Amino acid sequence: MHQRPPDPDAGRHPGAGPRPGPLELVVLVGLQASGKSTFRARAFTGTHAVVSKDLFRRARHRQRRQMRLVEEALGEGVPVVVDNTNPSPLEWAPLIAAGRAHGARVLAYWFPPDVAGALERNAAREGHERVPDVGVYATLKRLRRPRRADGFDLVHEVTFDGHGGFLVRPLDDDEESARDVDPPRSGHGVTSL
């Protein structure tokens, strides 16, 4: 899956196409350097179009462009994963509305904050990939755990497994039961609990 499209509209739906089953809009929620992009690459490559503001850093209206790409993919029946910090309902609300407008299941994947770990991973980044520490702290101030009450159909918690992979478990406002969960595929360092 490519990381940087060569022109503004290149890679609208990289590696993804319509697939059997329900249409999905996946929203990743967590600090910078929390593992969201690595998890996304392992769990959703080839099944979901990737929309990330990191892929169009120089765009003038990044939010507008993000929503256009989400709407286009969903309108074509292509599942979408939105790979940004998405720290609060301010970011989630338009995404949830877009998903609902297209009849998609809207799923949140929550990466609980580990500030020390995020700062350490961020410090290892180079160039424009590295975020100033103040940016991580600013996101932390706005960061809120997503809940089904926010409009998500399901909420999953994603943590590192200590072996280079991830553990995924379902959550709800009062802890979600595993019986109505459709987690991402296991393998490639992703283990569903």
The type of residue at 63 is Q
Are the CB atoms for 67 and 147 separated by under 8 Å?
A: no
Give the separation between CA 185 and CA 166, rounded to whole angstroms: 12
Per-residue pLDDT tens digits for 37-60: 999 999 999 999 999 987 776 767
Q: What is the pLDDT of residue 12?
A: 41
Full DSSP string of 95-158? HHHHHHHTT-EEEEEEE---HHHHHHHHHT--GGGSPPHHHHHHHHHH-----GGGT-SEEEEE
Predicted TM-score (pTM) of this structure? 0.81
Model confidence pLDDT, tens digit, residues 55-107 = 776 767 888 999 999 999 999 999 999 999 999 999 999 999 999 999 999 99
